[in-house]
Every structure is written in C-alpha cells, then in structure tokens.
A and B are shown apart, each in its own frame.
Chain A
Amino acid sequence: MSEPVKGIKSPVRLEYTVSAGRALSRFLAALTEARLLAGRCSVCRKVYIPLRSVCPTCAAPMSEELTIADTGTVTTFCIVNVPFEGQTMKLPYVYASVLLDGADLPILHLIQIPAEEARMGLRVKAEWVPPAERRPTLESIRWFTPTGEPDAPFDTFKEHL
C-alpha cells in the first residue's frame, strides 16, 4: 500500500445572490453620479449613511433624503499590515471610519496617506474614480485623501465613534 492518506481537501463554498433592497439600491445607484445619499430619521433626526428606509434605533421611517458632502473626518482607523488574497493595496495601508460632514454615522474606507501619518481627526475628501469607471459600489470612491485642513477637535466627533 502506498503512503496512507493524511488529509483531504474539504472546501466550503456558499453561493449567494444578495439583494440590496430598495434604499441601499438607491444609495448605490447614486454613487455612479458621485453622490452620497443619506436619510434623516423622522424621530431622532440623525442622518444615516448609507440611506436606509428605517432608523435602526427608533424603528421609524426616514423623513428626508439628502445628499451629503464627500468631505469628512477620520474618527478611528486601522493600519493593515497583513497580506490576504485579493488585496489591491500595498502594505501597510490605512482603513478608517470616516464621519462625512453632515452624517451621524461613519462609513469605512481607505485613506491615501502614509501609515505613520494616520490619526483621529484627520480631515479627508473622497477621490472619485472617473465617471466611466463608476459602478454602484463604494469602490466608485477610490479612497479618501487629506484635505490639508487643520485636524478636527475630538469633541466635534466624539459622539460619532
């Protein structure tokens, strides 16, 4: 008998079709026009991005839809040092929570900055890919780049971490 079998390949593969739903579909579609679509809760008045149909805190419908700015503040961040399959960024790179101006909830995105310069309060602006390359995905924003403005004071975003 040849060498006994010691291991087997046992992959697990789940193939889904994910539906974005109506609100998120509109948020994604707006990205192709370089617009960031948010919603204001009819009860707590908080502005949620991405747009959703119901406030996750109040369970109340959104009373208003608004396009918010593509500038914001880094609230928290992570420096990625670990390679993984499908990675497109050169290590180390910065992935951060960005509180867009006018929003009450941060979104996650890449920050184009040397890792050692990443910090809370950093002011950033979205760099959109050219119109022909825009798709209904947050990858229509290539990354956020520093605006050069003075850092935002902690008190201005401490409620939105």
Chain B
Amino acid sequence: MKSPPQSKVLSAPYVLEYTYRRSVGPVVGRFLSALQEGKILGGRTASGKVVVPPTEYDPETSDPVTDLVEVGTSGVVTSWSWAAAPRANQPLDRPFAWALIKLDGADTAMLHAVDAGDIGNMSSGMRVCARFAAERSGNIRDIACFEPETSGKGAS
C-alpha cells in the first residue's frame, strides 16, 4: 500500500476481466488451423494480391476470400517498435520488438514479435523467420515469435 506519511490514502488492486471466447469464422479458422501444422496461409484477392493474415472479404472488392495459399515462414521487417519493458502475457518475457513483417509471397505485413535481443539488432528491411511454439493450439501464439534470420536458420 502506497501511503504518504500522515494522510494515509488507501489504495487497492482492482482487476477487471472479461473471459471472452470468440468465433473466428471460416477464413481465419483455416489460417489458425494451418499454424498448428507450422504453415502460414494468406488469402488471394481478386487482383492477385496475397493478404496475410487472410481476411474474410477482399479489401478492394468486398468479395468473399476463398483462395488460401501458403506463404513463407520468413520475411522482411517493414517497421517496428521496441518494447523495452514487456508486460505480463506478451509474447516474450524479455525486451523485444513489435514488428510489421511482410512474409515471402505476401503483399501485406502482419504484426508479430521479434526476439532480437537488443534494439541495436533491429532495422527496417531486416529478414526474420518464424519460431513456432513447441505446443500449438490453433492460435496466433502458435508462432512463438520471429527471430533475425541467420545462416543455418530460417528459410533457404
């Protein structure tokens, strides 16, 4: 309890929690199912672009997206922000980068964490590859994080 001397102002923890479970729909459902198998899917739109993660509707024509294609598990960081003090339940328990990552074969970037170790290892344009979680449940966290691509790791 934080209390300045004499005034004795009381404080207490207060937790507000909603234990939602939400349906993901057929398209994101297939994307999450593929993650369980270590694959990343994108949705091909009418103009031939590949959107990752796939959206249920084509952002340009609003037509349903039905053509899901596999993209690479490596890609390029297009922008990023350093999380110096990770909070509970974030993907990593040590400083990391939130990054927009354009996977090989994709036309859009997706948000995920990059385990770069140090802010000095981050740069836009760097290549990263997915590190899949040992136990997967059909969730975006089936990708534990991305990590800088080095020889011997990641996509060929």
> Which positions in A face B, CB cutoff 8 Å?
1-22, 24-26, 28-29, 136
Cα of A147 to Cα of B14 in the assembled complex, Å: 35
Within 8 A of A (CB), among B1-36: 7-24, 26, 29-30, 32-34, 36
Residue in contact with B24 in the complex, picked from A8, A15, A29, A136, CB distance below 8 Å: A8
Give chain B residues whose Cβ lies under 8 Å from the Cβ of A6.
Answer: 23-24, 29
* Given A16-B15, A16-B16, A17-B14; A8-B139 close (CB under 8 Å): yes
Cα of A9 to Cα of B21 in the assembled complex, Å: 4
Residue in contact with A20 in the complex, picked from B9, B20, B23, CB distance below 8 Å: B9
Give chain A residues whose Cβ lies under 8 Å from the Cβ of B26.
Answer: 4
User: Are the CB atoms of B11 and A5 closer together than 8 Å?
Assistant: no
A-B contact count (CB 8 A): 89
Asked whether B72 is an interface residue with its Cβ less than 8 Å from the other chain, the reply is: no
User: Are the CB atoms of A17 and B8 closer together than 8 Å?
Assistant: no
Determine chain A's interface SS by DSSP, over half rule: mixed
Chain A nearest CB from B111 CB (Å) reads 16
Cα of A21 to Cα of B2 in the assembled complex, Å: 12
Residue in contact with A25 in the complex, picked from B8, B15, B36, CB distance below 8 Å: B8
Chain A nearest CB from B69 CB (Å) reads 15
Residue in contact with A18 in the complex, picked from B11, B18, B24, B36, CB distance below 8 Å: B11
Give chain A residues whose Cβ lies under 8 Å from the Cβ of B37.
Answer: 1
User: Are the CB atoms of A12 and B21 closer together than 8 Å?
Assistant: no
Asked whether B138 is an interface residue with its Cβ less than 8 Å from the other chain, the reply is: yes
User: Are the CB atoms of A10 and B8 closer together than 8 Å?
Assistant: no
Residue in contact with A2 in the complex, picked from B7, B8, B33, CB distance below 8 Å: B33
Cα of A9 to Cα of B23 in the assembled complex, Å: 9
Cβ-closest 7 pairs across A and B: A5-B138, A5-B32, A25-B10, A20-B10, A16-B14, A13-B17, A4-B29
Cα of A2 to Cα of B37 in the assembled complex, Å: 10
- Chain B 137-153 against A: per-residue CB contact (8 Å), 1 yes, 0 no? 01100000000000000
Cα of A1 to Cα of B37 in the assembled complex, Å: 8
Chain A nearest CB from B128 CB (Å) reads 24
**Besides A12-B20, A16-B13, A17-B12, 16 new A-B residue pairs in contact (Cβ under 8 A), listed by A number:** A1-B34, A6-B23, A9-B20, A10-B20, A10-B21, A13-B89, A15-B13, A15-B14, A17-B14, A18-B11, A18-B13, A20-B10, A21-B9, A25-B10, A26-B8, A136-B10
Give chain A residues whose Cβ lies under 8 Å from the Cβ of B15.
Answer: 13-16
User: Are the CB atoms of A7 and B23 closer together than 8 Å?
Assistant: yes
Give chain A residues whose Cβ lies under 8 Å from the Cβ of B34.
Answer: 1
Give chain B residues whose Cβ lies under 8 Å from the Cβ of A22.
Answer: 7, 9
User: Are the CB atoms of A8 and B10 closer together than 8 Å?
Assistant: no
Cα of A17 to Cα of B12 in the assembled complex, Å: 6
Chain B nearest CB from A10 CB (Å) reads 5
Q: Could you show 24 A-B contacts with beta carbons less than 8 Å apart?
A: A4-B26, A4-B33, A5-B29, A5-B36, A6-B29, A7-B22, A7-B23, A7-B24, A8-B21, A8-B32, A8-B138, A9-B19, A10-B20, A12-B16, A12-B17, A12-B18, A12-B20, A14-B16, A16-B14, A16-B15, A18-B14, A20-B11, A29-B8, A136-B10
